[in-house]
Structure 1
Amino acid sequence: MLTDPAALVPARLSPGDVIRVGGAGLRSRPLRVFLSALGIAIGIAAMLGVVGISASSREDLDRRLAALGTNLLTVSPGQDLFGKASHLPAEAERMIGRIGTVTSVTATGMTQAKVYRNDRVPPGESGGISVQAARLNLLRDAGAAVVSGTWLNEATRRYPAVVLGAKAADRLGVTRAEPEQRVWLGGRWFTVVGVLGLAPLAPELDTSALVGWPVARERLGFDGYPTTVYTRAEERHVLDVRAVLAATANPEHSTEVQVSRPSDALAAKQATDATLSALLLGLGGVALLVGGVGVANMMVISVLERRAEIGLRRSLGATRGQIRLQFVAESQLLSALGGAGGVLLGLGVTAGYAAYQGWRTVVPVWATAGAMIATLLIGGIAGFYPAVRAARMSPTEALSMP
Structure 2
Amino acid sequence: MRLLTAARLGPADLARLGVAGLRSRPLRAVLAALGIAIGIAAMTAVVGVSASSRAELHRTLDRLGTNLLTVGPGTKLFADEPAELPVEAPAMVGRIGPVTSVSATGRVDARVYRTDRIPAPQNGSIAVVASYLDLPATVGATVADGVWLNAATARYPAVVLGATAAARLGAVTGQPVWLGDLWFTVVGVLAPVPLAPELDSSALVGWDTAAGYLGFDGHPTTIYTRAAESSVEAVAAVLANTANPESPTEVQVSRPSDALVAGRAADDAFTGLLLGLGAVALLVGGVGVANTMVISVLERRGEIGLRRALGATRGQIRAQFLAESLLLCALGGVGGVLLGIGVTTAYAMAQGWPAVVPAWASLGAVGATLVIGAVAGLYPAVRAARLAPTSALAH
Q: TM-score of the superposition, structure 1-length normalised?
A: 0.89
Matches within 5 A, 1:287-326: 287-326=281-320
Shift of 1:292: 1.4
Partner of 2:35: 39
Matches within 5 A, 1:172-183: 172-174=169-171, 176-178=172-174, 181-183=175-177
Residues 303, 183 of structure 1: alpha-carbon distance in 2 compared, 3 angstrom cutoff: farther
Partner of 1:170: 167
Q: Which moved more, 1:77-86 or 1:134-143?
A: 77-86
Q: Give the letter for the 1:54 counterpart.
A: S
Residues 399, 118 of structure 1: alpha-carbon distance in 2 compared, 3 angstrom cutoff: farther
Supply the distance in 2 between the matched residues of 1:322 and 1:122 (Cα, whole angstroms): 86
2:326 to 322, 332, 339: 332
Partner of 1:136: 133
Q: Which moved more, 1:279-288 or 1:330-339?
A: 279-288
Partner of 1:378: 372
Q: Give the letter for the 1:155 counterpart.
A: A
Q: Which moved more, 1:134-143 or 1:349-358?
A: 349-358
1:260 to 242, 247, 254: 254
Matches within 5 A, 1:3-402: 4-5=2-3, 7=4, 9-81=5-77, 84=80, 85-119=82-116, 126-174=123-171, 176-178=172-174, 181-186=175-180, 188-217=182-211, 219-220=213-214, 222-401=216-395
Supply the distance in 1 between the matched residues of 2:120 and 2:332 (Cα, whole angstroms): 58
**Cα-to-partner distance string for 1:151-184 (whole Å, 9 max, x where unaligned):** 112333343322112233233334x412xx1334
Q: Give the letter for the 2:143 counterpart.
A: V
Supply the distance in 1 between the matched residues of 2:41 and 2:79 (Cα, whole angstroms): 49
Supply the distance in 1 between the matched residues of 2:391 and 2:79 (Cα, whole angstroms): 81
Secondary structure, in 3 states, of the residue corresponding to 2:247? Answer: helix
Residues 19, 262 of structure 1: alpha-carbon distance in 2 compared, 3 angstrom cutoff: same
Q: Give the letter for the 1:197 counterpart.
A: A
Supply the distance in 2 between the matched residues of 1:282 and 1:86 (Cα, whole angstroms): 47
Q: Which moved more, 1:181-190 or 1:155-164?
A: 181-190
Matched-pair contact (CA < 8 Å) for 2:99–2:226:
yes
Q: Which moved more, 1:214-223 or 1:359-368?
A: 214-223
Residues 390, 223 of structure 1: alpha-carbon distance in 2 compared, 3 angstrom cutoff: farther
Supply the distance in 2 between the matched residues of 1:335 and 1:274 (Cα, whole angstroms): 28
Matched-pair identity in %: 66
Number of equivalences: 394
Residues 383, 232 of structure 1: alpha-carbon distance in 2 compared, 3 angstrom cutoff: same
Q: Give the letter for the 2:322 counterpart.
A: V
Secondary structure, in 3 states, of the residue corresponding to 1:385? Answer: helix
Gaps of 5+ in 2: none
Shift of 1:125: 5.4
Q: Give the letter for the 1:48 counterpart.
A: T
Residues 131, 322 of structure 1: alpha-carbon distance in 2 compared, 3 angstrom cutoff: farther
Supply the distance in 1 between the matched residues of 2:227 and 2:342 (Cα, whole angstroms): 42
Residues 296, 224 of structure 1: alpha-carbon distance in 2 compared, 3 angstrom cutoff: farther
Q: TM-score of the superposition, structure 2-length normalised?
A: 0.90
Secondary structure, in 3 states, of the residue corresponding to 2:185? Answer: strand
Shift of 1:221: 5.5
Supply the distance in 2 between the matched residues of 1:115 and 1:241 (Cα, whole angstroms): 36
Supply the distance in 1 between the matched residues of 2:290 and 2:228 (Cα, whole angstroms): 61
Superposition RMSD on alpha carbons, in Å? 2.4
Shift of 1:263: 3.8
Q: Give the letter for the 2:163 counterpart.
A: A
